[in-house]
Chains A and B, each alone.
Chain A
Amino acid sequence: MGEDREQFEEIFLPFLDAAYNLARWIVQHDQDAQDIVQEAYLRAFKGFHGFRGGNGRAWLLTIVRNTAYSWMNKQAADDKLVPYDEEKHAEIISFDQSTREIISETQKEYLRNALLRLPAEYREVIILYEFEGLSYKELALALGIPVGTVMSRLSRARRRLQQEFAHIRSAEAVNEL
């Protein structure tokens, strides 16, 4: 028993920051995120025998994600998913091409707010793909959707993020006048 736990800790404790980051982005609350991470680790430990190796990070994050949603009574994801009006947002808005790779602190704050304004469904796909580096296949497993849906969802999430970013930036620009 002790050996199992040591092995489990060795594999999964290094992903603690990733687990917390994901939970925190989903529920947007420190204490809730901590509780979710603890519960997720407990679930993962109980299901450790079902872990067949491979991407431990993706496996754990899937559990964190599912734990977070059951924590939010499973409805949060749907409630926060605002129908996306393709017509209205037909115009392609993006980060200014002149925007450098590393952006200013102010712009980082815009980015953070833009992410927070995203529906949970888009936010998690951005975090899991861009930040945690899961593959489309791992995303499909984690989110319980087909790879084709991962493709379109990530695509829409990126467009939506750029729109929110542009929106915030222009609003701030107006305020600064």
Chain B
Amino acid sequence: MNCEEARQSLDAYVDGELELTSQLALETHLAECVSCQDAAKRITHCSLIVRKNMPAYKAPPELRSKVRAMLRKEDEPSFRWFSEHGRQMAYAAALIILSCALAWTWLSLSPAYEKELVADAISNHSRSLMVSHLVDCPSDDPHTVRPWFNGKLDYSPPVADLTAAGYTLVGGRVDILEQRQVAAIVYQHGKHVINLFIWPATGRKIEMDVQSERGYHFCGWSKAGLNFLCISEITAADLETFEDEVREHVNL
């Protein structure tokens, strides 16, 4: 190794960054070259002076809080929050939508619900015929029947005079449907009795075209915040006419 080669790796030697073989070769040269020894000393000296005396800039005090504020902002903006919580959000949204769909289906379209309601109404209807408990307030005058419900129900059921259409008012009574007291208005058409149940449509609105079950015809609808459900042995056509008449007369 000559001086020129030695000088090239002298800094790395001083810094302890030379690989072992190069280091040994350089040390061999240094042992017999005073000039290179001096050069090595100068490098060490320079390095030492710079290390001990180099003016260092200290970060201004506000920089730390600026950096921290920026990191916090970066850490918690809404899009990041959403990306972190997006999955939960999606689940929650899906759950809400599913619940709404279920509730809506159950409230408006549930065949099980309507079936139960109709079954109850039919048994009410047949019981009213069997036990000679058709009405508690016998009257063909709507102005007598309607006020009779006052105090017995928390709503006032419409009572229509449908005599002209062939449906004679028999009277009214209080019955039970959906675990609540409902108004039952009784009409007669020929020899047949019609039970018209009326109650507030606070929970579910009903909408049933004329159907038949166990020999009875029934239909139901919602109007003016009330549910109407009528049941009779009369023909489907006559029941439809009855529905039309009632709808027409219910002008609350």
Could you tell me which A residues sit within 8 Å of B by CB distance?
A: 1-2, 4-5, 8-9, 13, 16-17, 19-21, 24-25, 30, 33-34, 37-38, 41-42, 45-46, 92, 94-95, 97, 99, 101-103, 107-108, 111-112, 115, 126-127, 129-131, 135-136, 151-152, 154-155, 158, 161-162
Chain B contact residue count (CB 8 A cutoff): 40
Question: Are B50's CB and A126's CB within 8 A?
Answer: yes
Chain A residue at smallest Cβ distance from B68:
A9
Question: Are A1's CB and B84's CB within 8 A?
Answer: yes
Out of A13, A21, A158, name the residue touching B68 (CB < 8 Å): A13
Question: In the complex, what's the smallest C-beta–C-beta distance from B244 to chain A, in angstroms?
Answer: 65
Instruction: Given A16-B64, A111-B54, verify A101-B48 contact (CB < 8 Å).
Output: yes
Give the contact stretch, choosing among B10-18, B114-122, B128-136, B231-239: B10-18
Chain B residue at smallest Cβ distance from A19:
B59
Give CA–CA (A70, B59) in the complex, Å.
21
Task: Provide the main secondary structure of the chain B interface.
Answer: helix
Question: Are B67's CB and A101's CB within 8 A?
Answer: no
Instruction: Given A1-B76, A34-B63, A38-B70, verify A115-B12 contact (CB < 8 Å).
Output: no
Q: Is B66 positioned at the interface, with any CB of A under 8 Å from its CB?
A: yes
Chain A residue at smallest Cβ distance from B46:
A158
Q: Is B51 positioned at the interface, with any CB of A under 8 Å from its CB?
A: yes
Q: Is B8 positioned at the interface, with any CB of A under 8 Å from its CB?
A: yes
Question: Are A5's CB and B63's CB within 8 A?
Answer: no
Instruction: Given A8-B71, A131-B51, verify A136-B56 contact (CB < 8 Å).
Output: no
Question: In the complex, what's the smallest C-beta–C-beta distance from A103 to chain B, in angstroms?
Answer: 5
- A94 proximity list for chain B (CB < 8 A): 42, 45-46
Instruction: Given A99-B49, A136-B17, A162-B46, verify A2-B75 contact (CB < 8 Å).
Output: yes
Out of B17, B53, B84, name the residue touching A108 (CB < 8 Å): B53
- B71 proximity list for chain A (CB < 8 A): 5, 8-9, 41-42, 45
Give CA–CA (A33, B67) in the complex, Å.
13
Question: Are A151's CB and B70's CB within 8 A?
Answer: no
Give CA–CA (A97, B54) in the complex, Å.
18
Instruction: Given A2-B75, A42-B71, verify A17-B54 contact (CB < 8 Å).
Output: no
Q: Is B211 positioned at the interface, with any CB of A under 8 Å from its CB?
A: no
* B1-49 with Cβ < 8 A to chain A: 8-12, 15, 17, 39, 41-43, 45-49
Q: Is B74 positioned at the interface, with any CB of A under 8 Å from its CB?
A: yes
Between-chain CB contacts (< 8 Å), 15 pairs: A1-B84, A30-B60, A37-B59, A37-B63, A41-B71, A46-B74, A94-B42, A101-B52, A102-B53, A111-B49, A131-B56, A136-B12, A151-B12, A155-B8, A161-B46
Q: Is B55 positioned at the interface, with any CB of A under 8 Å from its CB?
A: yes
- B43 proximity list for chain A (CB < 8 A): 155, 158
Give CA–CA (A111, B55) in the complex, Å.
8
Instruction: Given A16-B67, A136-B12, A155-B11, verify A5-B49 contact (CB < 8 Å).
Output: no
- B80 proximity list for chain A (CB < 8 A): 1
Instruction: Given A38-B67, A92-B39, A155-B11, verify A45-B45 contact (CB < 8 Å).
Output: no
Q: Is B58 positioned at the interface, with any CB of A under 8 Å from its CB?
A: yes
Instruction: Given A16-B63, A17-B56, A97-B45, verify A1-B51 contact (CB < 8 Å).
Output: no
Give CA–CA (A151, B60) in the complex, Å.
33
Question: Are B75's CB and A5's CB within 8 A?
Answer: yes
Question: Are B57's CB and A20's CB within 8 A?
Answer: yes
- A102 proximity list for chain B (CB < 8 A): 52-53
Chain B residue at smallest Cβ distance from A4:
B75
- B51 proximity list for chain A (CB < 8 A): 130-131
Out of B52, B54, B66, B84, name the residue touching A38 (CB < 8 Å): B66
